[in-house]
Structure formats: C-alpha cells, structure tokens
Amino acid sequence: MRIFSIITAVVVTLALYLIVFEREKLLSFASNEPETSAVAEPEPDVAKEPTPAPEDGMRVVSIVATASTAQSIDNAVLLRGRTEAARQIDVRAETSGLVRSEPLRKGSYVEAGQLLCEIEPGTRQTALAEAQARLPEAKARLPEAQGRVLEAEARLKEAQINDNAAKQLSADGFASEVRVAGTQAAVQSALAAVETARAGVESARAGILGAEAAIASAINEIDRLKISAPFAGLLETDTAELGALMQPGGLCATVIQLDPIKLVAFVPETEVAKVEVGARAGGRTTSNQTVEGRVTFLSRSSDPETRTFRVEITVNNDDLQLRDGQTAEILIGAEGEKAHLIPASSLTLNNEGTLGVQLATDENTASFMPITILRDTTAGMWVSGLPDEAKIITVGQEYVTDGVAIKVTLAEPKS
C-alpha cells in the first residue's frame, strides 16, 4: 500500500509540473498545433508578405493586417435636439373690461397688428372729454399769473426807489429813521409779492401739464382697449371669448412664429470647438422631414449641470410643416479631417488602458498607436491619429505588444 501512495505522489507532482511550467508545450501537444502560431493559417485569398527569419530564441506571432490609406472626411458634429419656435408670446390685457370682439380660433394665421381682442370702453371716452375740457381753463390761468408777476415786479421797483430816496434824505438830515424803516419794509413786502406771483405762474404751468397728462392717460387707456398681434404668426390658443371679463394681465391669446424656425441642441464640451457661428447645418425630424440652415447662436456659457453648450440653427419653414417641439437629428458641418475606416473589432487597449490599434511595421514588428474615434458607421469606424499609410492588424492584435516580431499576412482588399 505504501508503494502505491509513493507512485501516486510522483504522478501528481509530474502533472503539476507540466501544467505550471510547461503549459504552452502541453497545450500545443494537445491541440496538435505549432506553439508559435497565434491564429489559424490564412485562407487562400490573402497574400503573404515575405518575413525575415527571426533571431534565435525570438517568438514570432502570425497575424493578419489590412493596408489602409487615410481619406479626407467631413468632420461633422452629430447632435440630437428639437425644433423651437423663433418667437412665442402670451398676449395679455393691460386694462379691465368686458370683451366685445368675436374670438379667433387657434390655428388661425394672424398678421402683425391684427386685432385679437377688443374691450368695452365704458366711461373712458367721458374721462377723455373731461380732461380735454380742463386744458383750456388751465392755459387761461397762465397769462393772468404772468400779469401778476409784472405787477409785483413794478411795485418792487417803486418800493426800491422810495427806499433809496429815504436813505439819501436821512443822510442829509431831511428824513427820519422811521421813514427809512418804512421804505425798507415796503421793499421786503414787494419782494414777497413777486415770489408769490412767480409761484402762481409755476402753478398755472403745472396745471397745464396736469391737464395734458390727463388727456394722454385717457387716450392711452382707450388705446389699451384694442389688443393686437405683436408679430405675424399662428394662434396657439383661442382669443378671449365674447363677453368674458378681462383683468390687467389676463390672457388674450398665445401667438407663435414658426417661419423661420430654430433647431436647438446642446453640444458637449469635447465637440464645442468644432462648431462655429455661420457654419452650415441640417436636420432631420422623426417624421423624416429634412431642412438646412446655418448656425446663428452658440452659447459662451455651459449648462452648470450637463456641461453642454446651447446651439441654435435657423432654417426656413415657409410651408409651416415643421412644428414647435419636434425631435430632430442635427448635423453641423466642421472642417474636414483625414481619417482611416477600420473595423471596430481591430480596436484594442494597451497596458495603460489607452484605446488604439496595433500596426505592422516595415520591420515586421507590432507597434501600438492611440487613435481618436470620429464617427461610427455601419461600414466601420472612422478614426484619426494614424499615419496616412498604415497596415492595421485586424486579426491577432490581442496577442502582440510593442516590438513583438510578427509574421504578416495582408488581407485582400474588399471589392
């Protein structure tokens, strides 16, 4: 029994040695494949490049590469946004009263200045007539007040003359000091009368201005009875119903302008440098309506929560087929850039986690190159960051690292 235990221990030890230290040879023996081949032999439709013999001890990995040439593509910015009316306003009343106009129904097209709601005038015409009647009376008071000023100034001049005469006579001993004091008092009284008369003139002028202001206020109040469309557009709501009581701030109607219309989207901060005001842009709605226009606004301040920038594209909407709030796919043109079209399966990561591809060099070694994805299409990915001419490893890129010797098989270009 002891001999069997020893034999079992030896067999287990040998098996562990083969699994841990000779794993590759063991796997190659089990699969009946050469240990240096990382991928299957290429099919007959691929062309092999001559590969120099590796140095002694150097491991060679067989890979398949595709020769790629950079192409110039439009580096457009693709966004998802919505349509938005150029202008929208709630037209509201500025005064109170009963509506006496027939309502206009929503969906109606209105011109700028067209009457939307009209309010009963009430006593406003009477208030205007009263204010207009007060104006002539106020104007008549002004000449009378100006005459009083002239009269007061004449009395002041007379009092000043009497005062000067009394002072001279008093200096020569012909007038008493009591007389001088009386003439001085008369001068002061005349000065007060002049100031009073001038105040009367200002009061008359204020009365004229007050009458004119009352007239203007009454006219303005009458003008507020008619509520008109501020611009041409469509009614989004019915106008106020006949007989409805309007209060200041009450809604008469909502008017929107849809021609031109705006496409609104938010550009991420990684793409905002590609967008410029004036750039050509286009959009397609979910109902497959296509429009073209130009960028008319790009925000300089980002949204604090999403770190995106608002962009607006103005487009024509003569037939009013586009509606406010439709979802749209927006494409904004940007400066062209050279890029390679590669299959998504050829992408790989290096040890630092950088996204890129493995290239086959002229020395038949692998070389990792980081890339930037520009666009993802059904045919593949457009990427930048590679040389104009490159041999991109499409099969076996996960088995090589920088400097590893490779056996290159170039795939035939697709017809």
Q: Which DSSP string do the residues of 182-196 spell out, in sequence order?
A: HHHHHHHHHHHHHHH
Distance in angstroms (rounded) separating the CA atoms of residues 196 and 187: 14
Q: Positive or negative, the Cα torsion across 98, 104, 106, 110?
A: negative
Identify the residue whose tokens are 């960051």: 385
At 117 the three-state DSSP class reads: strand
Per CATH, the number for 62-75+337-410 is 2.40.420.20
Q: CA 294 → CA 323, 325, 384, 404, distances in Å?
A: 19, 19, 27, 50
CATH architecture of 76-119+233-335: Beta Barrel (2.40)
* Tens-level pLDDT at each residue, the chain (415 residues): 567 677 787 777 777 776 766 666 666 655 554 444 434 444 444 444 444 545 545 678 899 999 999 988 777 788 999 999 999 999 999 999 999 999 999 999 999 999 999 999 999 999 999 989 888 888 888 888 888 888 888 888 888 888 787 777 777 776 677 777 878 888 888 888 888 888 888 988 998 999 899 999 999 999 999 999 999 999 999 999 999 999 999 999 999 999 999 999 999 998 898 899 999 999 999 989 999 999 999 999 999 999 999 999 999 998 889 999 999 999 998 777 788 999 999 999 988 889 999 999 989 999 999 998 887 888 888 898 899 999 999 998 888 888 889 998 888 755 4
Q: Give the burial class of 205: count Cβ atoms within 10 A of its Cβ; 0-12 exposed, 13-18 middle, 19 or more buried.
A: middle
235 touches 110 (CB < 8 A): yes
Number of H helices, E strands in the chain: 4, 23
- Which pLDDT belongs to residue 40? 40
At 119 the three-state DSSP class reads: strand
DSSP strand pairing (280-285 vs 251-268): unpaired
- Which pLDDT belongs to residue 175? 64
- Which pLDDT belongs to residue 31? 53
Distance in angstroms (rounded) separating the CA atoms of residues 34 and 25: 9
How many CB atoms lie under 10 A from the CB of residue 218? 19
Distance in angstroms (rounded) separating the CA atoms of residues 310 and 294: 14
Domain 124-223 has CATH 1.10.287.620: yes
- Which pLDDT belongs to residue 39? 41
DSSP 365: B
At 329 the three-state DSSP class reads: strand
